[in-house]
Amino acid sequence: MAKKQTAAPEQSGPQKYEVIRPWAGVKEGEILSLETVHPAIKANLRKVGAKVTTSDDGSGLIEAAKGEAAAIVEKAKEEAEAIKNEATAEAERIVEAAKAAPPPPPAK
């Protein structure tokens, strides 16, 4: 009978993190030992020994982000144009309705 493989147990105890974006009272490059990382500071840290990702490593992250941003901008422009067209059509309907309405009675 084959042995069932189990996942490696998670490392218990504090993990070591390097500060990559400093904040009040903490300097860039400091090594911190933390049990858990709060979401508010997660972007400011990386695990000690983690691979450094830069735009020079060929990952294409910047290009992908630019492409996503361009798509978002294009969609927003299309939505804005549709809103403008709807507003223009509604304004024209209001003007036509005002022209077709009988004049108000004269003031006494």
In a domain, 33, yes or no: yes
Do 64 and 96 lie in a common domain?
Answer: yes
pLDDT for residue 103: 84
Judgement on whether residues 45 and 65 belong to the same structural domain of the protein? no
Q: Answer whether residue 67 is part of any domain.
A: yes
- What is the rounded CA–CA span in Å between residue 29 and residue 31? 6
Q: Is 86 inside a domain boundary?
A: yes
Structural domain of 36: 13-50
> Do 46 and 65 have their domain in common?
no
- At 1-30, the pLDDT tens digits run 455 544 444 557 888 999 989 999 999 989
Number of structural domains found in the chain: 2
Q: Look at residue 57 and tell me whether its pLDDT is greater than 70.
A: no
- Domain membership of residue 25 (yes or no) is yes
